[in-house]
Structure 1
Amino acid sequence: MAATTAQPMGSLPSGLGICTTAPDIFYLPELVFGGLVWILVASTHVMPPNPLGWVMFVSVFCFVITFLWMIIFAAGGHKNNPGWAAADFFYHFIAAVFYLSAGVDLAYITMLMKIGTLRIYQIDIAAVVFAFLATLLYFIHAILSAFRWKSF
């Protein structure tokens, strides 16, 4: 009979352990919702280029960095160093702030563009919802990463 061992507090997961630990289980939903924001904003007509350019930057940047971060953790590149726990918290906090600003910009632009076609308006509303869901996921991940960092 195989015994299951819980991961000690203050250690960073590697391998498939990132699919079972509290903060790291959010990697895949962050990628999904961030990717949906990226796809939905890219599929609409970019009327005011500046705010939607920021939304695209945030969604692409966070998607790529989160994917790389997940690969580093899965490959065990962190070597259970407490500096990685701090970096994990700081990255996810910055990503939450970025997504919050992008979601507010996108919601504002969507509210102003009500007059456009119904299809584009619905796509923009979906992008706003997914941007705020991504914000929530990154924020929860940052909070749980802060707890893990402080327990090191």
Structure 2
Amino acid sequence: MASTTSGDVLPTGGRIFTSIPDVFFIPEFVFGGLVWILVASTRVDPDNPLGWVMFVSVFCFVVTTLWFFLFLCGANGSSIWPALDAGYHFVAVVFYLSASVDLAFITVLKGWGITILQGFGGNVQALTGDALKVYRLDIAAVVMSYMATLLYFLHAIFSAIRWRRS
């Protein structure tokens, strides 16, 4: 039975750009950053679900950035890093999936012309002008959010496989 050392399990330096789970870092930055930008470019209304979307996108963007630089600098040498990698990406998937569902729900309500004021009660109005622009930005944010969820999911699966091999 051949054993692997912790140095063989996780790549460091430039090798992270060629290993399967770690090539998802850059697309996660791009799609997560786009979610952040698209939601922040509109008026965050209603506060509660869209505040969660903003928290998730900023949190995952910052932690993924730190995670990327830890891998790039080679600070991931101990044997606990494969488990931490799989665990973080699983948490990111759960966070992004919940944020994506919230964002899609709010976008559907906006598409129906329902404005949400103080909870789920509201009035109906036609989408024109700025409301139509916000609706289109929200649609783009939903697509980017689900893409980020997919990328974090793939990263979590491949990280879990790598963790099982270590």
TM-score, normalisation: structure 2: 0.84
- Give the percent of matched residue pairs that are identical in Structure 1 and Structure 2: 60
Higher Cα Rg, which structure: 2
The list of structure 1 runs, each at least 4 consecutive aligned residues, that deviate by more than 4 angstroms after superposition, is none
The one-letter code of the counterpart of 2:75 is G
Structure 1 residue 82 displacement after superposition: 2.3
Aligned pairs for 1:44-123 within 5 A = 44-79=42-77, 81-114=78-111, 115=113, 116=127, 117-123=131-137
Query: Residue 3 of structure 1 aligns with which residue?
Result: none
Identify which of 99, 106, 128 aligns with 2:142: 128
Cross-structure match for 2:30: 32
Shift of 1:26: 0.2
User: In the alignment, residue 101 of structure 1 is paired with which amino acid?
Assistant: S
* Shift of residue 63, structure 1, vs aligned partner: 0.0
- 2 CA distance for matches of 1:63 and 1:128? 16
**TM-score by structure 1 length?**
0.92
Name the count of aligned residue pairs: 144
Residue equivalent to 1:19: 17
How far off its partner does 1:11 sit?
1.3
Cα distance between partner residues in 2 of 1:47 and 1:71:
34
Q: Aligned partner of 1:14: which letter?
A: T
Residue identity in the other structure for 2:85: D
Ranges in structure 2 where 5+ consecutive residues have no aligned partner: 1-5, 114-126
Distance in 2 between residues matched to 1:132 and 1:9, nearest whole Å: 33
Shift of the alpha carbon at 1:93? 0.5
Which residues of 2 match residues 2-13 of structure 1 at below 5 A? 11-13=9-11
Task: For residue 48 of structure 1, report the CA deviation from its aligned partner.
Answer: 0.5
Alignment counterpart, residue 140 of structure 1, candidates 154, 162, 165? 154
2-structure distance, mates of 1:70, 1:84:
13
Task: Could you tell me which runs of 5 or more consecutive residues in structure 1 were left unpaired when the two chains were aligned.
Answer: 1-7
